[in-house]
Amino acid sequence: MKLGIVGLPNVGKSTLFNAITQAGAESANYPFCTIDPNIGVVSVPDKRLDVLAGIYGSEKILPTAIEFCDIAGLVKGASKGEGLGNKFLSHIREVESIVHVVRCFEDPNVVHVDGCIGPLRDIETINLELIFSDLDMIEKRIQKTQKLSKSDKSLVSELELLNRIKDTLESDKCARTMDLSDDEAEIVKSLNLLTFKPVIYAANVSEDDLADDGENNENVAVVREYAKTEDAEVVVVCAQIEAEISELEEDEKKAFLEDLGLAESGLDKLIKAGYSLLGLISFLTAGPKETRAWTVKMGSKAPQAAGRIHTDFERGFIRAEVVAFDDISREGSMNAAKDKGLVRVEGKEYIVNDGDVMLFRFNV
C-alpha cells in the first residue's frame, strides 16, 4: 500500500520526498526501504504508543510505517508521451493513493514551468493528463464491452456505467467526482483508473504561511476550493522546512515546531492523512519488551491482525483479548481495565478497531 507523490516540476516534490526519506523509519524493521530509491518508508506518528509504553514500562517503542513513492517527471503532454509520459503514468497506476503537491509559495529564484504561480492551472494540468490516460483506457474498454454485450445482456449495465465514466472524463472531471452506488464504486475501482484513486492535495507554502495553516494565502484558498469539489483533503506543508525538521532529533524537533507556533509538523499531518486515505488502521500490542503499532486494512478481522505479527498466529488463532486504547489509558493499567470489565474476549469474527490494544491466544 503506497502513496504516490505527483505534481508539476519545481513544486517541491523531491524536497518533500527527501524529508520523508530522511525522517525514515526504523530501518531494521523495514529492510526493503533501501532497495528502491524512489520509495521512502516513514514511521506513522502515534502518541498512543508513548502512553502505552509508559503503562507497560516497555523498553522499546516501534511505530508502524507507510510508503511514499516519488513519481517525479509528470509534465503537460505526458499522456501523449511527452517527457517520459507513459512511464510516469504507469507508476501512478501502481500506487493506491495520490499526494498531489501544489506550489503555493512565491520565490523568484525558483522558476515555475508556466512562468507564474497558478495553483488551479497546475492542478488541472496534472489532472488532465491523468484524465486523458483514463479516457484512453475507458474508450478501449467500451469498445470491447460493446461487442461482448451483443451476446451477453448482463453487460448492458456495465456498458452504461462505462459511458457515464467517459462523459465525466470528457467534461474534464476526475472519475472520483462521480456519484456512484456502492456496487458501481466497486466496479469502477476494479478498473484501476488514475483519477479514481483517492487523493490528498499538499499545498506547499512558504514558512510564513505555516502558523495559520495557510489561511491568508490565496493560493491555498484556491487549492481548498478545488479539493472540495472532489471531497479531498488539503494538507498545508512547507517542504523546505520539513526537510530541515527531518534532520533533527525528536526533542529538537519539538522545540523547533514550538518556535514556529506549530503543534505538529506538516509532514506528520500528511503521513496521518495518507494512512487514513489508504484505509489503514493501527492496532497495538504492549509488554515490558516493546510497545508496537501494527497496520491492518480497515475492516480486517482478528485472525488477520494476528497474522500481521506472525503467520502462525493467524493459523492457530483461538481468541484475542481486546481493550480500547482510550479505556486502558484512562484506567492506567490492564488490570484496572479488567476490573471495570473493559477487556473483552473476542473470536474469529471480531472486526479490529483503530487503537485496539490486543493480546492473541493461539495454538502452534
User: Which member of 68, 105, 196, 275 binds ligand GDP (CB under 6 A)?
Assistant: 105
CA of 147: how far to CAs of 98, 153, 156, 159, 327, in Å?
34, 11, 11, 10, 58
Closest C-alpha among 194, 205, 200 to residue 119: 205
Pick the closer one to ligand GDP by CB: 8 or 62.
Answer: 8
**Kind and range of the H or E run holding 6:** strand 2-6
Q: Contact between 10 and ligand GDP (CB under 6 A)? A: yes
Q: Contact between 266 and ligand GDP (CB under 6 A)? A: no
Pick the closer one to ligand GDP by CB: 105 or 283.
Answer: 105
Name residue, grid cell 506513522: 44
10 a known binding residue?
A: yes
User: Which member of 1, 2, 9, 77 binds ligand GDP (CB under 6 A)?
Assistant: 9
Name residue, grid cell 503499532: 293
**What's the closest the beta carbon of residue 163 comes to ligand GDP, in angstroms?**
36
14 a known binding residue?
A: yes
Q: Quote the strand ranges of 182-304, DSSP E.
A: 199-204, 233-237, 280-286, 290-297
Alpha carbons 267 and 251: distance in angstroms, whole number: 16
Pick the closer one to ligand GDP by CB: 206 or 353.
Answer: 206
Alpha carbons 128 and 126: distance in angstroms, whole number: 5
Q: Contact between 343 and ligand GDP (CB under 6 A)? A: no
Q: Contact between 292 and ligand GDP (CB under 6 A)? A: no
Q: Which of residues 177-236 bind ligand GDP (CB under 6 A)?
A: 204, 206
Q: Contact between 7 and ligand GDP (CB under 6 A)? A: yes
Closest C-alpha among 39, 29, 36 to residue 3: 39
Strands 290-297 and 280-286 come out as antiparallel
* Residue 32 burial by Cβ neighbours in a 10 Å radius (0-12, 13-18, 19+): exposed
43 a known binding residue?
A: no
Q: Contact between 12 and ligand GDP (CB under 6 A)? A: yes
Alpha carbons 252 and 248: distance in angstroms, whole number: 6
User: Which member of 69, 74, 194, 238 binds ligand GDP (CB under 6 A)?
Assistant: 238
CA of 201: how far to CAs of 74, 100, 283, 319, in Å?
16, 5, 27, 41
**What's the closest the beta carbon of residue 26 comes to ligand GDP, in angstroms?**
26
125 a known binding residue?
A: no
Pick the closer one to ligand GDP by CB: 5 or 328.
Answer: 5
User: Which member of 1, 39, 61, 72 binds ligand GDP (CB under 6 A)?
Assistant: 72
User: Which member of 239, 245, 278, 334 binds ligand GDP (CB under 6 A)?
Assistant: 239
**What's the closest the beta carbon of residue 24 comes to ligand GDP, in angstroms?**
18
C-alpha angle 350/351/354, rounded to 5°? 130
Q: Contact between 15 and ligand GDP (CB under 6 A)? A: yes
Count the site residues for ligand GDP by CB under 6 A.
17
Q: Contact between 320 and ligand GDP (CB under 6 A)? A: no
Q: Contact between 342 and ligand GDP (CB under 6 A)? A: no
Q: Inter-axis angle of helices 182-190 and 156-170, to 10 degrees?
A: 80
Q: What are phi and psi of 346, to 5 degrees?
A: -120, 150
289 a known binding residue?
A: no
Span near ligand GDP by CB under 6 A; candidates 11-19, 262-270, 314-322, 323-331: 11-19
163 a known binding residue?
A: no
Is residue 253 within 8 A of residue 32, CB to CB? The reply is: no
Q: Which residues bind ligand GDP (CB under 6 A)?
A: 7, 9-15, 72, 105, 107, 110, 204, 206, 238-240
Annotated binding site for ATP: 10-15
Annotated binding site: 10-15
